[in-house]
Structures are given as C-alpha cells and as structure tokens.
Amino acid sequence: MMTVSDCEIALATTDDIPGIVALQSLNLRSNGGALSIEFSSDWFERVLSEMPIIVARREGRIVGYLVSSPLSAAANMPIIQAKLRAYPGSSNPYNHGPVCIAEDERNRRLISAMFQALRKRLRGREGIAFVRRDNAASLSAHAKLGMRQAAEFTHDGEAYVVVAYIA
C-alpha cells in the first residue's frame, strides 16, 4: 500500500495550479463532491503570491491541497462573509481552506501532513475555516487536527460549522 510518506508535501508553485484546479473540479458539489465554492485558476494564482498553498504530490500528480488566503481575497463571497460574521477571529486571522484530498488518498491523515506544513509558516495567526455540518469526515478530520468549533451559521439554507485554531 502507498503511504503518506511516499507523498511529497510542498509549498505550491504556479505549476501546480492546473493540478489543483483539476482536483477541485472532481470534488465540487455540482459534481457530487463536498466542495462548496469553485475558485478560478486566477484566484489560486493571486492567492499563491500572497499566502501559502500546500500541496501533496504523488508521482507528479496533485493528490491534495490546502489553501490559506488573506481575508481580503474572498471578501466578496457571501459564504465567507457569513463565516466571518459568525466568527471574526483575532490574532491576524486568515481564511483556512479549502482543503481537498483525492478520493483514493483519504483516511490516512494526509490532511495532517499538509496542516503541519502550513502551520509552521503561519505561527501565531488564527486560521478560520468552515465545514458543512453534514460533512462528517471533514468535521472529524478537523477536530483531530485540534481545530475547535468556534461558531455555526446557515447560508442558503445549509448549516455550517466554523472551525478555528491559532497556528
């Protein structure tokens, strides 16, 4: 069996963006996945110039990504506004997420390896993420990382949990 240790965990470069967007596409809610928002290549490129995006690569393929972004990068998105109304944070907060792992790589803590790589780059800052309340796997994974449930909100009739931590 392939293990997490066969994976390369790295800071993303612009060369990784097509792989990130491809993985995102497979996991959008509109395609039966769990991701609520579709971000464009341009968005990833802009964010990458400002804050870390961590990727997991296996044999050159992107099998996971974890995004951090400035609050300003998503300030025009209603769901992000709802998140920050529910929990504005303190300590130089940033948007933590989205995070996504390829289906065949789940349930072996790859999220933790990416989380540790991000965390060491953002020490002292508060990461704020949201998870749909019916996404049990994601809630469980975030709880195991030590992210605490800070608030709840509803958006477009769906219930979400805000999870946060100080890196």
Ligand X SMILES: CC(C)(COP(=O)(O)OP(=O)(O)OC[C@H]1O[C@@H](n2cnc3c(N)ncnc32)[C@H](O)[C@@H]1OP(=O)(O)O)[C@@H](O)C(=O)NCCC(=O)NCCS
Q: Which residues bind ligand X (CB under 6 A)?
A: 27, 34-35, 97-101, 106-111, 131, 135-138, 140-141, 144
Q: Which is nearer to ligand X, 49 or 142 (CB)?
A: 142
Min dist. Cβ of residue 85 to ligand X (A): 18
The 3-state DSSP class for residue 53 equals strand
**Pick 20 or 110: Cβ nearer ligand X:** 110
Tell me which H or E stretch contains 23.
helix 17-26
Burial track 63-100 (b if 16+ CB lie within 10 A, e otherwise): bbbbbbbebebbeeeebbebbbebbebeeebbbbbbbb
At its nearest, how many Å lie between ligand X and the CB of residue 107? 4
Looking at the Cβ atoms of 3 and 49, the one nearer to ligand X is: 3
**Shortest separation between residue 96's beta carbon and ligand X, angstroms:** 10
Nearer to ligand X, 129 or 167 (CB): 129
The crossing angle, in degrees rounded to 10, of helices 110-119 and 136-145 is 50
Q: How far is the CB of 49 from ligand X (least distance, A)?
A: 24
CA pair distance 117, 115, nearest whole angstrom? 5
Question: Could you give the C-alpha distances from 79 to 75, 82, 123, in angstroms and in order?
Answer: 9, 5, 26
CB of 29 to ligand X, least distance (A): 10
Helix, strand or coil, per DSSP, at residue 54: strand
119 token code pair: 């965390």
C-beta closer to ligand X: residue 49 or 80: 80
